[in-house]
Structure 1
Amino acid sequence: MREQGTKRGFLGAALMMVVLTVLLAACGGGNNGGEEKENAKTVTTAFGDIQIPTSPKRIIADDYVGSLIALDAIPVGTPGLHLKNPYYVEALEGVADIGEYGNSSPERMMELDPDLIITATDDPKRFEQMNKIAPTISVPYGDLKNAHEEIAYFGELLGLEDKANAWLKDYDERIAAAKQRVEAVIPPDATFTILELGDKSVWAYGDNFGRGGQPIYQSLGRKPRAEVAEELMEKQWMELSMETLAGYVGDYIVLTVGDVNEWTIDKLKADPIWGSLAAVKQNQVYIWQEERSWYYDPIAVLSQTEELADWLAK
């Protein structure tokens, strides 16, 4: 989503962008009457070294909820936006709503008594607010480039490598099957465009910003038009005017709209600009409800890839 901010990379190109150093914590008394404290480890992040439990039990997921679900590490709380995610809403039954996405309630988080908070914020003030409640790991959006990096990272962070490997094995098999179905019917040089239609503008998206970019460009290995590919992948989202739209559009369009009942292929064809596009003329447009295209966690990407493959295979 645009509200998730632009990408900021601090971890580098390699998957192992975070250094995990396991520290054997000393036993201590304190409020637990002499019981040993849980072992801890130190994680190097954009906001410095953070010491977290080796086996956190009460995680608040401000972000990256899909990866935690994939690892069977269900959080105790998350923003209401994630609770509405159609790809895993049932998995979050009973999980507490900590408030508006991007502006979660500190009071609600404190009530849940978390031992770890996971977020994507790059705002130092917001990070510090969370870190006072519980140890907080922040991985700004864009630092993890795909489902593999995301699942592997959190699998290592939480000591759930075996679950991460098993989930990714199933993911790879299903993605490969979807890709094979598409390749059987769509020429390899066919170009794709990921768009979102607003009231007065149109936005084009790259391969790591939702709206179908991950399924089309990453999972299915498709490409945008060569003359716009470099700029699009660098910026990840670009606002286009209706006058420049034709210069960006490829053979196929995946189009996010606010209301799929209002925006149909027939309405696009009747529009003088949309109707002039070859993809529209040839019915090579997938019109997508925004609530289904916004999410790009690993679970959503897998479901979206199979959904788009079904469309393309037909």
Structure 2
Amino acid sequence: MKRFIIPFILMCVLFLSACGNSTKNQAAGDANKEDKSETETITYQSENGPIEVPAHPKRVVVLTGNAGDVISLGVNIVGVDEWSKASPLFKEQLKDVTTVSDEDLETIIELEPDLIIGGSDNNNLDRLKKIAPTVTYTYNKVDYLTQHLEIGKLLNKEKEAQDWIDDFKSRATTVGNKIKAKVGENSTVTVMESYDKDIGILGNSWGRGTEVLYQAMGLKMPEKVKEMTTKEGYYMISSEVLPDYVGDYLVVSKYNDQDNSYQKTELYKEMPAVKNDHVIEVDGNAFMFNDSLTLDYQLEYFEEQFLK
């Protein structure tokens, strides 16, 4: 009996030892995989040429209006611009994220980003590039859907970005057809935003829902708006000439801290769009951008407002 017990105990010891070594080897393998994931890079073809960026970025600083694209693609943001932080659509996702600008270099260093996304007009780009790989975009250099795809390529999530684009285009076409069937194929829509005592009339790619209305859903803008916004994307006017630019429907992007007194004037109240209750007011902070999350929100909002 003793001769049987001793070899059995020895076998157990050897088995446990082998299991221990296997667990250690697996843990080491997992650690190596994690290290490799953190150091792996891809080459992104930016508008300024190829740049090496993390294949799986984990700490991104966003200094331009693409925070919604990054959030929707499931990538972690550690620093963000103040305008994105002000959007109620991103409130939950950005609640613990530090607000930074292109001047807050020390704060950005402390955030230890592995990728920085900025605009071509940002300051201190040379210094930002020393902190982490920095990719910049020129606003409206590409259309809004291509911009989302570019962010997807940058974050190594091109398929996810393309899937959203295909789905959004399909949904927007369906909603656009419903709206045009109700308001008429030739009905026109004007998008405006007030700036102190002046008013900005917006073209077809200036955020505030313009991409959804004019490009995705195919609604029309008044000819005078099209003419005056072609060059800059927007056109500044005084409230006195507002009726000359307002179509059958008016979308008003509003901020609580802006002067909206023009809406109390007889000139404003007598415009056909106002008298016909064809005014759609939107939260300027929620409607500012044209990222994927904001576009989804805008599409749903317009569907509700136009078809109610």
- The alignment's TM-score, normalised by the length of structure 2, stands at 0.79
Who is 1:201 aligned against? 198
Distance 1:291 1:106, change over 3 A: same
Q: Partner amino acid for 2:136?
A: S
Matches within 5 A, 1:144-293: 144-146=142-144, 148-259=145-256, 268=263, 271-293=265-287
RMSD: 2.7
Equivalent of residue 87 in structure 1, options 86, 89, 98: 89
- 1:206, distance to aligned residue in structure 2 (A): 1.1
* Deviations 1:111-141 (CA, angstroms, capped at 9, x unpaired): 1211111111324x42112111111000121
**Residues 215 and 302 of structure 1 are in contact (CA less than 8 Å); yes or no, is this contact kept in structure 2?**
no
CA distance in 2, matches of 1:263, 1:283: 18
- 1:47, distance to aligned residue in structure 2 (A): 4.4
Equivalent of residue 310 in structure 1, options 300, 304, 307: 304
Equivalent of residue 128 in structure 2, options 97, 121, 130: 130
Gaps of 5+ in 2: 1-31
- 1:173, distance to aligned residue in structure 2 (A): 3.7
Who is 1:28 aligned against? none
**Residues 206 and 213 of structure 1 are in contact (CA less than 8 Å); yes or no, is this contact kept in structure 2?**
yes
CA distance in 1, matches of 2:45, 2:167: 30
**Residues 198 and 257 of structure 1 are in contact (CA less than 8 Å); yes or no, is this contact kept in structure 2?**
no
CA distance in 1, matches of 2:260, 2:197: 14
- 1:254, distance to aligned residue in structure 2 (A): 0.3
Aligned residues: 273
CA distance in 2, matches of 1:74, 1:144: 25
- 1:43, distance to aligned residue in structure 2 (A): 3.7
Tell me whether 38-47 or 215-224 shows the greater mean CA deviation. 38-47
- 1:257, distance to aligned residue in structure 2 (A): 2.5
- 1:245, distance to aligned residue in structure 2 (A): 1.9
Gaps of 5+ in 1: 1-31
Who is 1:116 aligned against? 115
SS at match of 2:53: strand
User: 1:53 and 2:54 equivalent?
Assistant: yes
SS at match of 1:50: strand
Q: Partner amino acid for 1:149?
A: T
Identity %: 26
Larger Rg: 2
CA distance in 1, matches of 2:177, 2:57: 39
- 1:209, distance to aligned residue in structure 2 (A): 1.4
CA distance in 2, matches of 1:145, 1:152: 10
